[in-house]
Amino acid sequence: MTTLADKSLLSGGDNKPPMLEKHLYDSWKSRMELCMMNRPYGRMILASVVKGPLVWPTITVDGVTRPKEYTELTPAETIQADCDIKAINIILQGLPTEIYTLVSQHHVAKDIWEKIKLLMQGTSLTKQERECKLYDEFDKFTYKKGESLHECYLRFTLLLNDMNIYKMPVEQFQVNTKFLNTVPVEWSKFVTDVKLVKDLHTTNVDQIHAYLEQYERHANEVRLMHECNSDPLSLVASYQMTQSPYQTHQHSYQNSQHQQFVSPYQSPQYGSPYQS
């Protein structure tokens, strides 16, 4: 059965390691494991963290045994050695400065992982405090200006994943309604379509995202139109960009000709023949 964690794993984001928050260590640990698994050779990376790195092989040359050089490793050993380095980098990228400073002297992913666990002991929130914090994040979840629909969806599914880790029940209808009410105004027409056509009690948020994403080009056009209408200068610039060079030149030429030609009947020197 596919969980929310699996869905967020497969959602196609950039898989950037999550940043550790001291009071949400358990959630961070779970998300880091998902992040590692979503990389090429993810199982080997996670194994490096849990079980330890490659035991560096040796080679005997002229009766002398020495550790292999990197270039002497077999293809399988090379992959494992690379995964050991990747495991360290992934963990370190997810640490705030004060924690990074305390663990950066370690050069083995397993050692870093265990050191973080020791540092975080006693910092986890109680179950009630965790639930209150996550419910509060759910209630206040909003679209961030400038992000795409997909980026908004990724943040939302990660929040749902955290709530799922702590077994916090949220009705499907509530999840869907929250997501639909979060997306910006340019999606309003398509949001209305979803509410009219889809059963929000049975449809999941992944299906809603997939449906809306089909109309992203139209939504972007609506957004640009709103931005132009709210800024007259942008509207003028947009209009000028749609004119061909010939149209622009012709318009300027006609204006200059009109200004240069003054009928003698309209000239102040003669006055108008129609004036009494």
For residue 223, the surrounding DSSP H or E stretch is helix 216-230
Residues 134-190: pLDDT tens digits?
899 999 999 988 888 899 999 999 889 888 877 888 899 999 999 999 988 888 888
Model pTM? 0.48
Identity (one letter) of the amino acid at 59?
Answer: I
Overall residue count recorded for the chain in this entry: 276
Give the E-state strand segments of 18-83 in sequence order. Answer: 58-61, 64-67
Two tokens at 270? 């003669």
pLDDT in tens, 13-55: 456 899 998 778 888 898 899 999 999 999 999 999 999 998 9
